[in-house]
């Protein structure tokens, strides 16, 4: 299963990369929306972990672009900036939420929900 991690914070990308690989996932990382868009076009991604606030663009922009695709990945928004309104909108859209800062057990719980386990 392929996972794309999109976050401008190198430490977050590193942590998610290590944790997800340890759980058996193939992990690809991107540090911005442009890089992520290109990786989404060239690879079949099963799960997308995406930050909302990044210097070169907003994660919600990429999420909106994905809504037009027929084969879209499951999405986990990984951010410290999730308002109550956004949280409701994401949950209603089938998007999962992992609030920063998070712990490994919270990551695993979110992954299980995302995969329907």
What's the pLDDT tens digit per position in 47-82? 999 999 888 878 888 888 887 766 789 999 999 988
The predicted model gives 23-36 an average pLDDT of 94
Q: Which of the residue ranges 8-17, 58-67, 85-94 has the most confident prediction, judged by mean pLDDT?
A: 8-17
pTM score: 0.91
Show the domain range for 51: 2-114
d(CA 88, CA 116): 19
The domain total for the chain is 1
Q: What is the CATH number of the domain that holds 40?
A: 3.40.50.2300
Between residues 116 and 14, the one the model is more confident about: 14
The model's confidence at residue 15, banded by pLDDT at 50, 70 and 90, is very high
Q: Give Cα 15 distance to the centre of its chain.
A: 13
pLDDT score of 31: 95
């Amino acid at each position: 299963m392929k996972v794309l991690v999109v976050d401008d914070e190198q430490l977050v990308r590193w942590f998610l990369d290590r944790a997800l690989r340890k759980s058996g996932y193939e992990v690809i990382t991107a540090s911005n929306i442009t890089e992520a868009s290109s990786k989404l076009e060239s690879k079949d991604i099963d799960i997308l972990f995406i930050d909302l606030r990044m210097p070169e663009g907003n994660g919600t922009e990429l999420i909106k672009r994905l809504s037009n695709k027929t084969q879209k990945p499951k999405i986990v928004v990984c951010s410290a900036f999730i308002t109550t309104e956004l949280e409701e909108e994401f949950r209603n859209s089938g998007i999962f939420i992992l609030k920063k800062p998070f712990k490994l057990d919270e990551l695993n719980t979110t992954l299980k929900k995302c995969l329907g386990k």
